[in-house]
Amino acid sequence: MIKLNVQNETSRLRSVVLGIAVNNGPTPNIEDCYDPKSRKHILSNSYPIEADMVKELEAVLEVFKKYDVKVYRPEVIPNCNQIFARDIAFVIDDFLIEANLLPNREEELKAIDTIWNIIPRSKHIKLPEHCHIEGGDVMLVNNHIFIGTYSGANYADFITARTNRHAVEAIKELFPTKIVKTFELKKSNTNAEENALHLDCCFNPLGKGKAIIHKNGFLVESEYNWLVNFFGEENVFQISKEEMSQMYSNVFSISEDVIISEKGFTRLNTWLKNQGFTVEEVPYAQIAKQGGLLRCTTMPLLRDNI
């Protein structure tokens, strides 16, 4: 059995699930896309190839080895995209919560059967079917749980709307001692610069009390303002619409002091270094073409206590 413990996004990482791109399948048909970034690159004939994405994930694996992090990988399911490990499950405290995915992605859950089999059954939570949720919308900041959602009446029209109010209420019931704060996200099925697929596509808390944020990823300005005030304006790195689309906010913290980031994020990486962070820069631009980056491809299982 493995130990689970995740209370925030930045405590020292000890074990993690890292996605895998082996036998990832062919370029999807345009009608099978479930995010606007993939759609854009299919239409422009620039969708990433498997070999490049395998190399990018291996670069992150090497960083984890450097910091002595135990890494689990999904089992290979032929012709199945298993890159985005954060979508399919997430840990809160010492519970592993199984996501309710889009119907055409349910096969991905089978790839981490080995993980389900080595945690106690009492620590495995599967929400009711009507509770839609994915790990990219769930952020832990100690006694707070931040959840990205979309509660518009036209929720069903957006394939990019992944977490609903039913799931938010279920999380509140499961963790009554936590402060659950929701954020309405901007959604678009076709325009990547107008779509915050998950909360971590427009916001990410970092160590040292810092954070990355993009204002226009949020539908409600007061909710964006609340976040800025929570961290303090001087501690927040503001990113542009284009930078959000490039996934600038989707970095990954190994500890309070160490962050993995895409090597091309020059403006962000310079700021991080100036704030005293160690920045492990990796190539991830091909994976980014599918609408996710470093946080999306990693699912922490165990972090040190606060």
pLDDT in tens, 198-239: 999 999 999 999 999 999 999 999 999 999 999 999 999 999
**Residue among 300, 186, 298, 283 at smallest CA distance from 244:** 186
On the question of pLDDT at 188 being above 80, the answer is yes
Confidence class for position 81, pLDDT limits 50, 70, 90:
confident
On the question of pLDDT at 251 being above 70, the answer is yes
1 assigned to some structural domain:
no
Name residues whose C-beta falls within 8 Å of residue 228's C-beta, 6 or more positions apart in sequence.
213, 236
Residue 268 is predicted with a pLDDT of 98
Name residues whose C-beta falls within 8 Å of residue 266's C-beta, 6 or more positions apart in sequence.
none
Across the range 76-99, mean pLDDT stands at: 90
- What are φ and ψ of residue 197, in 5° steps? -60, -45
User: Please, are residues 101 and 88 in contact by the beta-carbon 8 Å criterion?
Assistant: yes
Residue 158 is predicted with a pLDDT of 85
Q: What is the DSSP string of 181-219?
A: EEEEB---SS-GGG--SSGGGTEEE-GGG-EEE-GGGBS
Confidence class for position 116, pLDDT limits 50, 70, 90:
confident
Q: E-strand spans in the chain?
A: 13-18, 70-72, 89-92, 95-98, 124-126, 138-141, 144-149, 179-184, 203-205, 211-213, 236-238, 252-253, 258-262, 278-282, 298-303
72 assigned to some structural domain:
yes
Query: Model confidence over 4-16: pLDDT tens digits?
Result: 999 999 999 999 9
The tally of domains found in the chain comes to 1
User: Please, are residues 53 and 33 in contact by the beta-carbon 8 Å criterion?
Assistant: no
Strand 211-213 relative to strand 236-238, pairing = parallel
On the question of pLDDT at 249 being above 90, the answer is yes
Residue 49 is predicted with a pLDDT of 86
Residue 106 is predicted with a pLDDT of 66
Query: Model confidence over 5-63: pLDDT tens digits?
Result: 999 999 999 999 999 999 877 776 776 665 667 777 777 777 888 899 999 999 999 99
User: Please, are residues 249 and 259 in contact by the beta-carbon 8 Å criterion?
Assistant: no
Helices (H), 136-292: 165-174, 221-231, 241-245, 266-274, 285-288
For residues 94 and 71, give the distance between their C-alpha atoms in angstroms, rounded to a whole number. Answer: 18
Q: What is the mean pLDDT of the chain?
A: 91
201 assigned to some structural domain:
yes
Residue 169 is predicted with a pLDDT of 97
252 assigned to some structural domain:
yes
Query: Model confidence over 130-183: pLDDT tens digits?
Result: 999 999 999 999 999 999 999 988 887 787 878 999 999 999 999 999 999 999
Residue 32 is predicted with a pLDDT of 66
Q: What letters, b where the CB count within 10 A reaches 16 and e where it falls short, cover 66-101?
A: eeebeebbbeebeebbbbbbbbbbbbbebbbbbbbb
The parent domain of residue 131 ranges over 13-303
Burial environment of residue 129 by CB neighbours within 10 A (0 to 12, 13 to 18, 19 or more) = exposed
175 assigned to some structural domain:
yes
User: Please, are residues 30 and 40 in contact by the beta-carbon 8 Å criterion?
Assistant: no
Residue 137 is predicted with a pLDDT of 96
Query: Model confidence over 262-303: pLDDT tens digits?
Result: 999 999 999 999 999 999 999 999 999 888 899 999 999 999
For residues 67 and 65, give the distance between their C-alpha atoms in angstroms, rounded to a whole number. Answer: 5
132 assigned to some structural domain:
yes
Residue 193 is predicted with a pLDDT of 77
254 assigned to some structural domain:
yes
CATH assignment of the domain containing 277:
3.75.10.10
98 assigned to some structural domain:
yes
Residue with tokens 């929701």: 182
Residue 48 is predicted with a pLDDT of 81
For residues 29 and 31, give the distance between their C-alpha atoms in angstroms, rounded to a whole number. Answer: 5
Query: Model confidence over 262-273: pLDDT tens digits?
Result: 999 999 999 999
